[in-house]
Structure 1
Amino acid sequence: MTEPRQAHRLHILKVALDVPLDGVFDYLSEAPVQIGQRVVVPFGPRRQVGIVVDLADASDVAPAKLKSIIQYFDQEPVLDGEFFSLLKFCADYYQYPYGQALLSALPARLRQTEPARARQQFCYWLNSAGQAADISAIPVRQAVQRRIFAALRAHGRLNEAELAELSPGWRKGLAALRERGWIEEEQVYAGLGSTLHASSVQPELNEEQVLAVQSILQYRDTFRPWLLHGITGSGKTEVYIRLLQAVLEGNQDQALVLVPEINLTPQLEARFRTRLPQFPLVTLHSNLSESERLQNWRLAQTGAARIVIGTRLSVFTPLPGLKFMIVDEEHDTSYKQQDGMRYHARDVALVRAQRRNIPIVLGSATPALETWHNARNGRYGLLTLQQRAVSQSQLPQVNCVDVSRVQMQEGLSPQLLKALKVRLERGEQSLLFINRRGYAPVLLCNACHWIAPCMRCSSRLVVHLRQGFLRCHHCGHEQNIVRQCPSCGNADLHPTGNGTQRLEETLTRLLPEARVLRVDRDSTRRKHALSEMLSAVHVGEVDILVGTQMLAKGHDFPNLTLVGVLDTDSALFSPDFRAAERLFAQLMQVAGRAGRADKPGEVLIQTSFPEHQLFNALRVQDFAAYAASLLQEREVAQFPPCEFLALIKAEANEYGPVQRFLQFAADSARALGTDALVYDPVRPQMERLKGMERGQLLFQAATRQTLQIVLRQLTPQLRAHPLSNKIRWAVDVDPQEF
């Protein structure tokens, strides 16, 4: 941690601000402000919150021109040197202003000019009068009161989250018990732990799991990246739990677990709380309120939280006792930030682990090719789990249905319909996967073939029939469904293709006895909706699940034995060189939902290309062979991981300024005379997005260093260009999308 230096009367502070300018700014202070403290400073006509990153005895700015800080917050924990160092590295590598990088890594409450306060929460227990009381004193009809009383009697102390698990109306029930004079309370930090469902039962590890745990623990005190390559259902989470049990023996030790998506967090959190109740745990993700996020972040910063589970931004969380890191589903593209500083959380995690000299585990059934390449070359340790953790569980049988040879019934093949009926008769569950929400992807005129376009994007409007409108899934634009073709006047317009809503409607009509549940972004907008839906699946209230990629990974449904996959062929011939890799990973993940218990699973994939190399590899669940063929293609094409890429993206209301700006960038880069290959500016596949005309410039080099040399010299020139403030532009190092 950077040691604070005390100020003498008038001191010069180096302050980082959330502004798109390089460097930090000098301010005066009479107070003894420390490095790492938040301050409020004047910046032009506004007040800005900033972070003191250094103290100085002199400034390049004349003393008479230096302004004084307005306020500083000395009651808050200071940020440590590791936090500054990591963000400085990211700002340099991803070509982003340091102040903006620093402030964007903080919770929203710490980016405001007011003191940051988190919501107070309490825990409750029965006092002596409550302990002496009998449950019979509470009327039987007061079920919530009786439930709370019994839980407090059994567990001693319960916090608000644990009481909420007992009943949504817990506050009213608790107030009634308080009126009886039975309750004591104390302020606590929310989210740290739960004793309601703690379990000491540990499943027996198989030989592969034991080897993985032992191998990683041999390097527990040194930097060593490990790829834990385990098939779906192979027990990677159990390996994580055993590693955390061993690593967190020291009272001050902490661990960071990154997950790609919010909807995976509750399940992993519940598993960890059950098995690791002795270690205080918090989560960090965007579903938390600002107050909850600030409190959990501070619990991590002060060392009170021993385990932190979070999405990509959590990689920057200050953790003074950090000893171990896990990146679950490390291949997932959600780890890549697509606006602001375009960092990749997995790569930042590797840098952080190296600087802390600690081990890091990257877990996946379908690793990113970059990770697989490093593991095969020996840069990462490779540990493989090839058998399912449940002894009776086997990998599902994968079959392809050639839809070009069968008569389809509203998007469903006879084979898939028959398989669904068989599962219904057996009382087993099925999952139909279609990565397209809405009712239909297009509204089509059969007369002139007009398709409803989005006026703001180079995309089509998706039909949402129940709501009666067309929606763009890129920009959010909505409009009423048109009743006649604006091109030819034809009133015979048809929703064409299948989305999750249409598939749900079709199944309800074809299989009226089935209980169908749709899980997509539209149906899970309400808070806690997803967890309620998943609970319904687990208790057997659902026969057929219809869902998007939200259901593709991380979920364990023991009674689910059939997975049907609809409409994947478009990704087989995408211009994006990563499309095949992503499709294989997606299909492997969704296939892994079938047959995870003692019942055999089956996967039916509807495709017009059943003999495609990707499906052949999927049938035998051979990731290694398919990855080897993809790596050969990448080597020939000189794409990552064999070469390194960077993009300069730009957009404006008109394409002319974008083209001139990108051409200037290309000419300037070529004038530097480096070994990087600079392509000509082009339009991306999505030429117009949210009303903005877009362009991009691609750089390619054999080494990261070559790219960095070019970008380090080029970026200041671009910021000084007259068009820089008239268009939106950004540097994207190691881009995941084109």
Structure 2
Amino acid sequence: MPEQAPTFHVVHVAVHTPVHSGVGTPLSYTHSSPLPAGCLVRVPLGTRHLLGVVWPAPPDETPIDPSKLRPLDAVMQGLEPMNGHWQRLVGFAARYYQRSVGEIAMAGLPPALRDMTAEQLAKRLQPPKPKQRSKKAAAALAAAAEAAAAPPQAPQAPQAPQAPQAPQAPQALIALSAEQQSVCSQIEQNSGPFLLYGSTGSGKTEVYMRVVQQALDASPQAQALVMVPEINLTPQLQERFEARFVPLFGAQAVVSMHSGMTDVQRLKSWLAAHTGQARIVLGTRMSVFASMPGLQVIVVDEEHDPSYKQQEGARYSARDLALWRGHDCGAKVILGSATPSLESWHASDPAVGRYLRLHMPSRIGAGALPRLRMVDMTQQPKKTVFSPPLLAAITERVQKGEQSLILLNRRGFAPVLFCADCNWKSDCPHCSAHQVFHKGDRTLRCHHCGDTRRVPHACPGCGNPDILPLGKGTEQLEEELERLLRNVQRPDGRPARIGRIDADTTKHKGALEEQLALVHSGEVDVLVGTQMVAKGHDFRRITLVAAVQPDGALFSSDFRAPERLFCLLMQAAGRAGRDASYISAQGSHPEMWIQSFEPQHMVYQALRQHDYPSFAQQQLRERQDAAMPPFAFQALVRADAKTQDAAQAFLRAATDAARQGQLPHLDDVFLYPPIPMTVQRVANVERAQMLIEATDRRALQRFLHAWQPWLHWVRGHPSHKSIVRWLVDVDPLTL
């Protein structure tokens, strides 16, 4: 009999195709047997070999001749396929944020897995072999066996028996306050999603842990995802969760996922979550794509934080995807914040009813919220950094053994160096921005492109040796405080110690944990920091927080600037007076000091009363009148090119193409003309953007989807060869 020809099955695979290729759908390959959707495979693409995910066939698939397709390289054996919930999450994110399915899918997998061959994965999944004993160990074992077989010796004096080591006991649950108990009951009785609006220090973390424990106790397969906005908040949260849940569910019950981990660590955490071994995943925005087949609870802590929005590549919002994911898989979603985003606050309005708003206004232990002290800087001497009243208050706290936090959201010594003779400034040669003066290592650094150079001995323009720093940074505040407090002593007689935490002092591994430990132990009396220490941290001895130069955000062109400033200051104020018993023993009252040239501004007036609802109501009223989010929906199209004219020409051509093509919903969207970005040039690349607005989200989405092929077509036109890249940013947070 003639030999039967082998059968080939067409398999659709999502791979990370280049953005400029215009290929956003899964590619087709062949395999000797059908493969389930969600299976991981390696496939050839051009001259490369990539990891891909088998994807469901499109409903309108046209027959394909298998002989014209390339075969798969290999199937990644040993891993369960990514389940349907994960596939739908990736598919939704790709459609909504106008990216390819493969790009989103690969972003949801650990880098080490993306680079592995099938053989390497199989070896990685094998259980570790028992170590072979060395000859020395074998001899010792034989001697022990021989001793055991020898006749018994004369009995020796009995020794006191050693008690067997008891297993680690679960952490005792603390008693919930009435507000916490009420919130937990409402979460148990309702499906959500929930907006947990709790003041700083009200015990939101304990509520998260109670809800998570309830879900994990109810099912042995249940899993929970707890997200935080920044890496520096992960260690302290992990410590609390491990203390609570490791004794209950084992050493692998809690894992972390964030970009600060090594590739091997991220792969280990991902595998533990994918297999269900990890019951709780703590992570930053990337963890929203974690494969968790038993997901039952999603917590988004500090949900207002802009760090949840990815700013490179696929510009997704992890908070919004968490809401979609929870709805799709039936998980309860809790958004928590003392200063919710206006979008979430509006959605939790009973008249809107998308979220259930839960309120915890009181601090645990009857701790008082800090009172606000305003300093009118127009009444202070020029060039004053720390006003006399603020300096006196800091001095008093140091002498009583208390701690103070000084907030300035600008690192470095000064934003720019300046020559008074010729007006030279330390501009970056590659960007339309200044290079920041860092006094510690005598460098000028661009915080956009990273260009670094030594500080010149004299002005490069005119040779003047007296070039001066303009403005203030955290490094300068630290130096100024060391000078002003050099004669101030702590209660133990030692001089006041100043600490600084920002991106410069924490760039080395373990530096952040080391500095936070010094603060918690009381070794630091005055902590200077950026926004990275203004939220989430539980500093028990801080009784005074001061914002020395917050006014810049009041005059920003970004309509979200007042909201961000209010949230930052209110979160910073929440670092003071968190330990009611300590405050009572000290006989102190927590304070928030603000030095401002605009002390009557409505942001500060609302902050004085700790009145977020009134602030939110006023801001939402303004946005509704101006038809801005959340009452309208936006997208940005950005173009990077060799010249600004070329970037704007591309955007104008894309607009003309949309109108000539009579795209669907063109009449429902408004296309603004292109303009330069705020920082127009970065790394010698000119940047321009145009805004698209609509009052209906679906109309905007359908228009953007129909516009994608036209954008690729315009990009491929010979007249736009100087375009470096372009992208679509849906629901942008910065304009």
Q: TM-score if structure 1 supplies the norm length?
A: 0.86
| In 1, Cα distance between equivalents of 2:170 and 2:65 | 64
How far apart in 1 are the matches of 2:533 and 2:164?
38
For 2:650, give the aligned amino acid: F
In the alignment, structure 1 residue 481 sits paired with structure 2 residue 455? yes
Aligned partner of 2:32 in structure 1 is: 30
1:390 aligns with 2:372: no
Match of residue 228, structure 2, among 239, 254, 259: 259
Match of residue 72, structure 1, among 75, 80, 94: 75
State the alpha-carbon separation in 2 of the partners of residues 448 and 203 from structure 1. 65
- Tell me whether 1:612 sits opposite 2:601 in the alignment: yes
Name the counterpart of 2:655: 666
Q: Contact conserved, 2:13 with 2:28, CA < 8 A, in 1?
A: yes
Give the match for residue 16 of structure 2: 18
Equivalent residue runs for 1:623-638 within 5 Å: 623-638=612-627
Matched, 1:421 2:414: no
Measure how far apart 1:679 and its partner are. Answer: 0.7
The correspondence for 2:353, drawn from 378, 383, 387, is: 378
Structure-to-structure mapping, 1:540-619, within 5 angstroms? 540-598=522-580, 599=583, 600-619=589-608
SS of 1:502's equivalent in the other structure is helix
Distance 1:203 1:606, change over 3 A: same
CA distance in 1, matches of 2:32, 2:679: 53
* Counterpart-to-counterpart distance in 2, 1:685 and 1:493: 27
CA distance, structure 2, for counterparts of residue 260 and residue 472 of structure 1: 25
- The residue number in structure 1 matching 2:711 is 718
Preserved contact between residue 669 and residue 710 of structure 1 (Cα < 8 Å): no
Cα distance in 2 for partners of 1:153, 1:271 equals 27
Structure 2 counterpart of 1:406: 380
Determine helix, strand or coil for the equivalent of 1:686.
Answer: strand
Q: Residues of 2 paired with 1:98 and 1:56: CA distance?
A: 13
How do residues 108-187 of structure 1 correspond to structure 2 at under 5 angstroms? 108-114=111-117, 115-116=120-121, 154=165
Deviations 1:648-684 (A, max 9, x none): 0110122232112100222233443331111111112
Aligned 8 A contact 2:11 2:34 in 1: no
CA distance in structure 2 between the partners assigned to 1:53 and 1:233 by the alignment: 46
What code does the residue aligned with 1:395 have? L
Deviation track 1:197-221 (CA, whole Å, cap 9, x = no partner) reads x6533222222111111001002xx
Give distance in 1, aligned partners of 2:109 and 2:296.
22
Partner of 1:679: 672
Distance in 1 (CA, whole Å) between partners of 2:305 and 2:166 is 39
1:205 aligned partner: 176
Contact 1:107 1:294 in 2 (8 A): yes
Counterpart Cα distance in 2 of 1:500 and 1:652: 34
Is the 8 Å Cα contact of residues 458 and 467 (structure 2) preserved in structure 1?
yes
CA offset digits 1:129-173 (Å, max 9, x no partner): 99xx9xxxxxxxxxxxxxxxxxx98566xxxxxxxxxxxxxxxxx
* 1:359-378 equivalence runs, <5 A: 359-376=332-349, 377-378=352-353
Q: For the residues of structure 1 that align with 2:211 and 2:619, how far apart are their CA atoms?
A: 32
Q: C-alpha distance in 1, partners of 2:276/2:87?
A: 18
Name the counterpart of 1:705: 698
Q: Deviations 1:75-115 (Å, cap 9, x if unpaired)? A: 23321222111111111111111111111211101211423
Relative to 1, partners in 2 of residues 1:414 and 1:153: Cα closer, same or farther, differing over 3 Å? farther
Aligned to 1:453: 427
1:243-282 C-alpha deviation (Å, 9 max, x unpaired): 1121222111111111111111111111111123314111
Alignment match, 1:298: 271
Contact 1:257 1:309 in 2 (8 A): yes
Cα deviation per residue 1:333-386 (whole Å; 9 max; x = unaligned)?
000011111110010011111111232110000000000001112221111111
Of residues 270-279 and 30-39 in structure 1, the stretch that sits farther from structure 2 once superposed is 30-39
How far off its partner does 1:539 sit? 1.3
Is the 2:416–2:434 Cα contact (8 Å) retained in structure 1?
yes
8 Å CA contact 2:9, 2:66 repeated in 1: no
Whether 2:198 is the aligned partner of 1:230: answer: yes
CA distance in 1, matches of 2:529, 2:128: 36
Instruction: Provide the C-alpha distance between the structure 2 equivalents of 1:544 and 1:93, rounded to a whole number of angstroms.
Output: 46
Structure 2 unaligned residues grouped into runs of 5+: 1-5, 132-136, 145-162, 487-494, 584-588
1 CA distance for matches of 2:693 and 2:104?
25
- Residue 11 (structure 1) shift: 1.6
Where 1:687 maps in the other structure, the secondary structure is strand
Which residue does 2:732 correspond to in 1? 735
Alignment equivalent of 1:273, drawn from 228, 242, 250? 242
Kindly tell me: are residues 252 and 607 of structure 1, through their superposed partners in 2, closer, same or farther at Cα, counting changes over 3 Å?
same
Map of 2:66 onto structure 1: 63
**Corresponding residue number in structure 1 for 2:84:** 81
Contact kept? 2:309, 2:316, Cα under 8 Å = yes
Q: Which residue of 309, 323, 326 corresponds with 1:353?
A: 326
Contact 2:658 2:710 (C-alpha < 8 Å) held by counterparts: no
Choose the corresponding residue for 2:629, options 640, 649, 663: 640
What SS class does the counterpart of residue 611 from structure 1 fall into? coil
Say whether the 8 Å CA contact 1:644–1:734 is kept in structure 2.
yes
Structure 1 stretch 474-483 or stretch 695-704: which is displaced more? 474-483
Describe the shift of the 1:365–1:32 C-alpha distance in structure 2 as closer, same or farther (beyond 3 A).
same
Q: 1:410 touches 1:506 (CA, 8 Å); kept in 2?
A: no
Match of 2:489 in 1: none
CA gap of 1:461–1:121, structure 2 versus 1, over 3 A, is farther
Q: Which amino acid aligns with 2:427?
A: P
Map Cα deviations across residues 18-76 of structure 1 (whole Å, 9 max, x no partner). Answer: 11322111111225644322222222222222222147999654433211122222123
Q: Letter of the aligned partner of 1:232 in structure 2?
A: T
**CA gap 1:390/1:296 in 2 versus in 1, 3 angstroms:** same
Quote the RMSD (CA, aligned, Å): 2.5
Once the two structures are superposed, what CA deviation does each residue of 1:608-651 show, in whole Å capped at 9, x if it has no partner? 11111100111110000011111111111111011111110110
* Matching residue's letter, 1:389: I
Deviations along 1:574-607, whole A, 9 cap, x unmatched? Answer: 0000001000000000111011112121111111
Aligned to 1:318: 291
What stretches of structure 1 of length at least 5 have no aligned partner? Answer: 1-7, 134-151, 157-194
Aligned residues of 2:372 and 2:593 also touching (Cα < 8 A) = yes
Name which one, 1 or 2, has greater alpha-carbon Rg: 2
Partner Cα separation in structure 1 for residue 58 and residue 701 of structure 2: 30
Are the counterparts in 1 of residues 632 and 693 from structure 2 also a CA contact under 8 Å?
A: yes
Correspondence for 1:184: none
CA distance 1:359–1:68, shift in 2 (3 Å): same
Give the structure 2 partner of residue 535 of structure 1: 517
CA distance 1:109–1:463, shift in 2 (3 Å): same
Relative to structure 1, the CA distance from residue 60 to residue 485 in structure 2 (aligned partners, 3 Å threshold; closer, same or farther) is: farther
After TM superposition, the score normalised by the length of structure 2 is 0.87
Partners of 1:300 and 1:544 in 2: CA distance = 40
Relative to structure 1, the CA distance from residue 544 to residue 199 in structure 2 (aligned partners, 3 Å threshold; closer, same or farther) is farther
Give the direction of change, closer, same or farther, for the CA distance of 1:113–1:300 in structure 2 (3 Å limit): closer
Q: Which moved more, 1:56-65 or 1:43-52?
A: 56-65
Is the partner of 2:677 in helix, strand or coil? Answer: coil
TM-fit CA distance, 1:409: 6.9
State the distance in 1 between where 2:525 and 2:671 align: 54
- 2:620 equivalent to 1:622: no
Residues 403 and 606, structure 1, Cα contact 8 Å, conserved in 2: yes
SS in 2 for 1:256: strand
For 2:711 and 2:116, locate their aligned partners in 1 and report how far apart those are by CA, in whole Å: 31
